[in-house]
């Protein structure tokens, strides 16, 4: 990597985020300091504050970056052509693949849910998750007009996330197989549960 002092400001800001994401994923919001992030990047604290005025603004930017490709994948799947069921299948397959490839994002999300800081959670809901969740709710209404679209959208995401969150303990449970870690198998399983639950299969 080039010398941070000679890197253009926009690139430095991206480097800061790329270093901050795994630090927040490993240690949580409270376990990471601005000084520690500056040290990981190789810049002064003053230079870091030039890009991000406080830890909360840096954290939210890191979460937004960590979620960016997920949001794009969700939007692409949900707004593509095809029937509602085809869009559901694409969403589940795409989101499962993205989650499987990004353990830092999974850790960030788990930590936030466990920390339960209402201010940060509201900011994350408003600034990071709102648009994709609205798209999922719209699909849920289309697929299952008799179901609660809010709960259905949560189930669509939760069924996928829990398979990965439960991996540390699942390996010790009866019937576990290596193939259960395959994102394609998980996606097929989740799609089958959702479609049966909505009376579509």
| 61-94 confidence digits (pLDDT tens) | 998 888 887 788 788 888 878 899 999 999 999 8
Which tokens is 119 given?
A: 């201010």
Give CA–CA dist 35/44, Å, rounded: 8
What share of the chain has pLDDT > 90, as a percent? 58
76 and 118 inside one domain:
yes
91 and 123 inside one domain:
yes
34 and 131 inside one domain:
no
91 and 128 inside one domain:
yes
**Which pLDDT score, from 0 to 100, does residue 138 have?**
92
Query: Quick check: 24 pLDDT over 80?
Result: yes
What b/e sequence results for 95-119 when a residue is b if at least 16 CB atoms lie within 10 Å of its CB, and e otherwise? Answer: bbbbbbebeebbbbbebbeeeeeee
Query: Quick check: 6 pLDDT over 60?
Result: no
91 and 178 inside one domain:
yes
Query: Quick check: 129 pLDDT over 90?
Result: no
Which tokens is 102 given?
A: 């990004």
**CATH number of the domain bearing residue 99:** 1.10.357.10
In a domain? residue 21: yes
Q: What is the largest CA-CA distance in the chain?
A: 59
Q: Specify the number of domains making up the chain.
A: 2
Angle, helices 9-27 vs 34-41, to 10°: value is 120
In a domain? residue 59: no
Query: Quick check: 8 pLDDT over 60?
Result: no
**CATH number of the domain bearing residue 26:** 1.10.10.60
Q: Is 44 helix (H, G, I), strand (E, B) or coil?
A: coil
Q: How confident is the model at residue 53 (pLDDT cuts 50, 70, 90)?
A: very high
**Which pLDDT score, from 0 to 100, does residue 199 have?**
67
State phi, psi for 106 to the nearest 5 degrees: -60, -45
29 and 103 inside one domain:
no
Terminus-to-terminus CA distance in the chain, angstroms? Answer: 52
Query: Quick check: 192 pLDDT over 60?
Result: yes
Query: Quick check: 200 pLDDT over 60?
Result: no
Q: What is the pLDDT of residues 114-127, one digit of tens each?
A: 888 898 888 888 87
**R_g over Cα of the chain:** 19
In a domain? residue 60: no
82 and 155 inside one domain:
yes
In a domain? residue 58: no
Query: Quick check: 109 pLDDT over 80?
Result: yes
49 and 73 inside one domain:
no
In a domain? residue 124: yes
- Look up the domain containing 15 and give its range: 4-53
């Amino acid at each position: 990597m080039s010398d941070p002092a000679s890197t253009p400001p926009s690139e430095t800001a991206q480097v800061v985020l790329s270093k901050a994401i795994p630090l927040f994923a490993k240690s949580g919001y409270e376990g990471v300091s601005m000084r520690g992030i500056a040290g990981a990047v190789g810049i002064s604290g003053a230079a870091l504050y030039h890009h991000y005025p406080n830890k909360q603004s840096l954290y939210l930017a890191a979460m937004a970056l960590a979620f960016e490709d997920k949001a794009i994948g969700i939007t692409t799947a949900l707004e593509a052509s095809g029937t509602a069921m085809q869009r559901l299948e694409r969403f589940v397959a795409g989101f499962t693949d993205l989650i499987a490839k990004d353990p830092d994002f999974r850790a960030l999300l788990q930590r936030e849910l466990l920390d339960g800081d209402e201010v940060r959670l509201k900011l994350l809901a408003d600034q990071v998750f709102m648009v994709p969740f609205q798209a999922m709710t719209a699909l849920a209404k289309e697929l299952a007009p008799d179901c609660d679209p809010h709960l259905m959208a949560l189930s669509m995401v939760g069924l996928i996330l829990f398979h990965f969150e439960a991996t540390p303990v699942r390996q010790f449970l009866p019937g576990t197989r290596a193939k259960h870690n395959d994102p394609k198998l998980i996606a097929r399983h989740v799609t089958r549960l959702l479609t049966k639950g909505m009376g579509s299969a």
